């Protein structure tokens, strides 16, 4: 147990210690030592009153709006992606008609969508949420379609024999067997949503958000704050991914049990 | 979801092409109708035909092509760097378990950093220009190469490896003759994923920089122009087209090189 813990954390600790020593010795403004970055992160975001869970007003004014917009965009992408994906997955004909458009939609690098929505909707949270949603849509959509099209035909036939209604077939067979693919798509979408959350806030003219803090600090050449924002985003990305993995395991276990060992 | 539909024969290759073209034509026609009927004001959202015409016309504009070439160059150098770093590092981590286990936590912290968050930092350190763009592309696209290399090594059949070892081949020879060829299809998939992510960073960095050369710069400047919506959308079509073409080239290369690989059938997407 302890040996495993040491093995897991020895190298990260050594790396951070070496980074600290090297940056202190170099005293380069561009590379502040990690201890200074952590201190800045604490000052900026986590030194608030206990009543606010130690969050500062800066954290409440910038970090929370960012996360809220990302959640809204991702939720929109999830709903639209699953609904459209199920329709596409169950109809080979629809898939054939829309395939070139879907391939193109997926190939467009998401940052180019942001200027499109800036022109169409002007700057502001709605534009940011739509940018996040449209970028995060594709992995969920295509994975759901893939999962829904590869349902075991015997299960569908069995359901017909037992005269399950179309809704029952959808809820009891198609969605559960597409679920592993939907979750795989959701994890890809999460990392895209995080990228777009930051990107949509980096554009000049935004009012708040972690990305706004980043550009603001960049324009003041405040490097410790720039580094702090990067580290915070790394931690957020790690936590969100871990959360999704845990959810993934939990939900899939339930559904696998419900499917009675048909673990596909 | 009726019985007759699910019993219908699968659509052939020609049928798929025809239907795809019909789908595209349908979208262009609908957007044209909406534009002509005035449902959507054309200054606000140009029709698909307008955008496509502009995109085609841009192909004859040498200045625009030079910008596309600048993006492609930064993208290619960045992905090449990512491969040059990611493959050897992946081989090291994948073939020596102790090293892999030790370094993993560090990588797992670095990987979730959304790469666009590094744009302001790298721009401050390296200044605006090719070096910044290449660094960002390389950072973002190294992960799929690295992790796919490690993953590919995990699936290597131990029997040929041990056989070679018994015959007295050193670890490097075993790596070169067994492990690397066995992992190659996974590495190739990693490179294809890396190319897609690299394009995101290349164009994204250019859009934020707003000046210099590159497709992203063209898009960012069109966004500032009073009547630039068509140009912004035409730029988007070009960016998507670049992504499609490179993806198709890499996927085709994978199919040709690794047609023997078991995963290829389900992996050609």
Q: pLDDT by residue (tens digit) across B245-256?
A: 999 999 888 888
Q: Choose from A15-19, A200-204, B165-169, B237-241 the range with maximum mean pLDDT.
A: B237-241
Whether the per-residue pLDDT at B3 is higher than 60: the answer is no
Q: Are A198 and B117 within 8 A, CB to CB?
A: yes
Select the residue of A118, A153, A198 nearest B116 (Cβ to Cβ).
A198
Q: pLDDT tens-digit profile of B42-52?
A: 667 788 888 89
Chain A partners within 8 Å of B119 (Cβ): 202
Chain A with chain B: Cβ pairs closer than 8 A? 172
pLDDT of residue A84: 93
Residue partners of A81: CB distance under 8 A and separation at least 6:
A136, A137, A138, A139, A140, A141, A144, A185, A189
How close A115 comes to chain B (CA, Å)? 6
d(Cα A252, Cα A63) in Å, to the nearest integer? 31
How close B163 comes to chain A (CA, Å)? 31
d(Cα A105, Cα A88) in Å, to the nearest integer? 15
| C-alpha closest to that of B118 among B32, B200, B15, B182 | B200
Euclidean distance between the first and the last CA atom of chain A, given in angstroms as a whole number: 34
pLDDT of residue A262: 46
d(Cα B83, Cα B141) in Å, to the nearest integer? 8
The whole-number average pLDDT for the span A218-244 is 90
What value of ipTM does the predicted structure carry?
0.84
pLDDT band, very low/low/confident/very high, at B14 (cuts 50, 70, 90)? confident
At residue A255, the 3 state secondary structure works out as helix
pLDDT of residue B80: 96
Select the residue of B121, B235, B244 nearest A103 (Cβ to Cβ).
B244
User: What are the backbone dihedrals phi and psi of residue B175, each rounded to the nearest 5 degrees, phi first?
Assistant: -60, -45
- Select the residue from B93, B120, B250 to test the A interface by mutation, using most A Cβ atoms within 10 A: B120
Q: Are B114 and A197 within 8 A, CB to CB?
A: yes
Chain A partners within 8 Å of B124 (Cβ): 30, 218, 221, 223, 226
Neighbours of B83 (CB within 10 A): 21
Q: pLDDT tens-digit profile of A181-230?
A: 899 899 889 989 999 999 999 887 788 889 898 988 888 888 999 999 99
Chain B partners within 8 Å of A218 (Cβ): 120-121, 123-124
Cβ neighbourhood burial of A122 (10 Å; 0-12, 13-18, 19+):
exposed
DSSP annotation of B39 = S
Neighbours of A82 (CB within 10 A): 23
Select the residue of A105, A166, A191 nearest B1 (Cβ to Cβ).
A166
Whether the per-residue pLDDT at B11 is higher than 90: the answer is no
Select the residue of A104, A112, A160 nearest B219 (Cβ to Cβ).
A112
Say how far residue B50 (Cα) sits from the centre of its chain. 27
How close B113 comes to chain A (CA, Å)? 4
Say whether residue B97 is in contact with chain A using an 8 A CB cutoff.
Answer: no
Select the residue of A7, A114, A166 nearest B101 (Cβ to Cβ).
A7
Name which of A41-45, A87-91, A103-107, B36-40 the model is least confident about. Answer: B36-40
How close B174 comes to chain A (CA, Å)? 28
Share above pLDDT 90 across residues of chain A, in percent, rounded to a whole number:
28
Residue partners of B259: CB distance under 8 A and separation at least 6:
none
- Select the residue from B14, B21, B93, B114 to test the A interface by mutation, using most A Cβ atoms within 10 A: B114
User: Taking a C-beta distance cutoff of 8 angstroms, is the pair B240, A108 a contact?
Assistant: yes
DSSP annotation of A110 = G
Cβ neighbourhood burial of A188 (10 Å; 0-12, 13-18, 19+):
middle
Say whether residue B84 is in contact with chain A using an 8 A CB cutoff.
Answer: no
Q: Are A112 and B117 within 8 A, CB to CB?
A: no
d(Cα A232, Cα A49) in Å, to the nearest integer? 20
Name which of A47-51, B37-41, B74-78 the model is least confident about. Answer: B37-41
d(Cα A149, Cα A143) in Å, to the nearest integer? 10
How close A252 comes to chain B (CA, Å)? 22
Q: Are B233 and A116 within 8 A, CB to CB?
A: yes
Cβ neighbourhood burial of A186 (10 Å; 0-12, 13-18, 19+):
buried
d(Cα A22, Cα B4) in Å, to the nearest integer? 70
Q: Are A112 and B11 within 8 A, CB to CB?
A: no
pLDDT of residue A71: 95
Q: pLDDT tens-digit profile of A249-259?
A: 888 777 666 65
Which chain B residues in 181-200 lie under 8 Å from chain A, judged by CB atoms?
196, 199-200
How close A222 comes to chain B (CA, Å)? 10
**Count of CA atoms in the C-beta half-sphere (13 A) of B256:** 6
């Amino acid at each position: 147990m302890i040996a495993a813990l040491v093995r897991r954390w020895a190298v990260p600790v050594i790396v951070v210690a070496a980074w600290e020593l090297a940056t202190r010795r170099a005293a380069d403004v561009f590379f502040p030592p990690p201890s200074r970055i952590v201190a800045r992160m604490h000052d900026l975001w986590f030194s608030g009153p206990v009543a606010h869970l130690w969050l500062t007003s800066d954290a409440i004014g910038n970090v929370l709006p960012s996360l809220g917009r990302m959640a809204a965009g991702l939720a929109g992408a999830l709903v639209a992606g699953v609904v459209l994906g199920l329709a596409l997955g169950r109809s080979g004909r629809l898939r054939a008609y829309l395939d070139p458009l879907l391939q193109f939609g997926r190939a467009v690098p998401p940052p180019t969508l942001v200027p499109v929505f800036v022109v169409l909707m002007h700057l502001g949270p709605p534009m940011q949420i739509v940018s996040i949603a449209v970028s995060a849509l594709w992995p969920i959509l295509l994975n759901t379609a893939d999962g829904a099209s590869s349902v075991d035909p015997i299960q569908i036939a069995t359901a017909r024999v037992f005269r399950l209604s179309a809704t029952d077939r959808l809820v009891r067979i198609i969605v559960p067997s597409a679920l592993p693919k939907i979750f795989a798509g959701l994890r890809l979408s999460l990392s895209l949503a995080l990228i777009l959350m930051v990107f949509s806030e980096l554009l000049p003219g935004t009012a708040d958000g972690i990305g706004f803090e980043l550009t603001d600090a960049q324009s003041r050449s405040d490097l410790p704050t720039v580094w702090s924002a990067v580290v915070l985003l790394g931690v957020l990305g790690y936590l969100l991914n871990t959360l999704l993995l845990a959810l993934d395991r939990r939900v899939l276990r339930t559904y696998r049990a419900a499917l009675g060992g048909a673990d596909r | 979801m009726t019985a007759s539909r699910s019993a219908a024969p699968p659509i052939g290759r020609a049928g798929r092409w025809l239907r795809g073209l019909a789908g595209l034509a349908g979208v262009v026609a609908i957007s044209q109708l909406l534009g002509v009927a005035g449902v959507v004001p054309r200054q606000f959202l140009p029709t698909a035909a307008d955008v496509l015409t502009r995109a085609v016309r841009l192909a004859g504009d040498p200045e625009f092509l030079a910008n596309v070439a600048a993006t492609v160059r930064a993208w290619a150098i960045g992905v090449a760097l990512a491969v040059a770093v990611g493959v050897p590092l992946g081989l090291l981590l994948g073939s020596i378990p102790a090293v892999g286990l030790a370094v993993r936590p560090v990588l797992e912290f670095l990987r979730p950093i959304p790469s666009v968050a590094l744009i302001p930092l790298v721009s401050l350190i390296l200044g605006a220009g090719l070096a910044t763009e290449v660094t960002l592309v390389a950072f973002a696209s190294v992960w799929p190469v690295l992790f796919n290399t490690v993953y590919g090594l995990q699936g290597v059949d131990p029997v040929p490896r041990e056989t070679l070892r018994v015959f007295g081949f050193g670890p490097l020879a075993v790596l070169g003759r067994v492990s690397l060829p066995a992992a190659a299809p996974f590495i190739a998939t990693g490179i294809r994923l890396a190319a897609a992510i690299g394009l995101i960073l290349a164009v994204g960095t250019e859009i934020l920089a707003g000046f210099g050369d590159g497709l992203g710069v063209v898009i960012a400047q069109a966004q500032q122009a009073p009547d630039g919506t068509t140009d912004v959308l035409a730029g988007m079509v070009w960016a998507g087209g670049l992504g499609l073409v490179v993806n198709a080239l890499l996927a085709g290369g994978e199919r040709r090189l690794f047609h023997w690989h078991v995963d290829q059938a389900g992996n050609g997407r």
